[in-house]
Amino acid sequence: MKVLLLGGTGEARALAQLLVSAGVEVVSSLAGRTADARLPVGGVRTGGFGGVDGLSAWLLAHPVDAVVDATHPFAATMTAHAVAAAGEVGVPLLILRRPGWTAAPDDTWHWVDTPSAAAELLPTLGSRPFLTIGRQGLPAFAPLGLQGPSAVAPLGLVNLPSILARCVDAPEPLPTWCTLLLARGPFDLTAELDLMRLHQIDVLVTKDSGGPATSAKLTAARELHIPVIVIRRPPLPAGVEVVTSADEALAWTLKR
């Protein structure tokens, strides 16, 4: 049995490990945008396929018994392409998506659909935001950062923009309107509390990525009584099988 595993997530790496251990031949596919990416076990190919046609052509040239889309919940284009191409070629497809986050009773979460909507809402909630939305959504917040450096900067530093943005890799070109922190999870609660206190954060902006690796910021926001703007996930394509764990995806695959 051979599987194309669309990856770039911790779940995809976990599933690759499970599949390889079960004797399944796996080709994990990575977009190739993250420098120093964590590689899964098994075979790996890197780079875009070239849209639906490119992926269909790849599937015809490299026959597989199943496709598992274990990309990030916000990688909606790849998911849509995978559904279309697998349908065209007639290969069974499964989506593996970790569950989203849910607010606790003490939380003040504001749900929005897009980074632009988050940027619009943000000034009504705070003036020292912490943006944890990856680099792709950052440009929507640039107009907020052009209002000048903060009056009170942490540690006596001056001229630090009051917007703190955290990404795995630096956006290009480098934004000058925010203080940029390059870091890759997992993040723990103590570090998140320290960081948010240091930068005097008063509002957190996040995507509903789900999963434990980056959820400590939500607990920190709760403890610091900070409101959170949560960007909703793009909807999943209709009529596709979806599971939420690597174990379930393994079981589905072994039944093909």
Applying CB under 6 A, which residues contact ligand NAP?
A: 6-9, 29-31, 33, 48-51, 54-55, 71-72, 74-78, 81, 134
For ligand NAP, the closer CB: 8 or 162: 8
**How crowded is residue 42: how many other Cβ atoms within 10 Å of its Cβ?**
18
What b/e string do you get for 93-102 counting C-beta neighbours within 10 Å, with b at 16 or more? Answer: bbbbbbeebe
Min CB(203)–ligand NAP separation in Å: 20
For ligand NAP, the closer CB: 96 or 150: 96
For ligand NAP, the closer CB: 18 or 128: 18
**How crowded is residue 29: how many other Cβ atoms within 10 Å of its Cβ?**
26
Min CB(154)–ligand NAP separation in Å: 27
Min CB(227)–ligand NAP separation in Å: 22
Min CB(78)–ligand NAP separation in Å: 4
Min CB(118)–ligand NAP separation in Å: 14
For ligand NAP, the closer CB: 70 or 144: 70
- CA–CA distance, 251 with 201 (Å, rounded to integer): 43
For ligand NAP, the closer CB: 139 or 154: 139
For ligand NAP, the closer CB: 50 or 148: 50
Min CB(108)–ligand NAP separation in Å: 23
CA 156, chain centre distance (Å): 33
Q: Are 181 and 147 in contact (CB under 8 A)?
A: no
Min CB(33)–ligand NAP separation in Å: 6
Nearest-CB residue for ligand NAP: 48
For ligand NAP, the closer CB: 49 or 177: 49
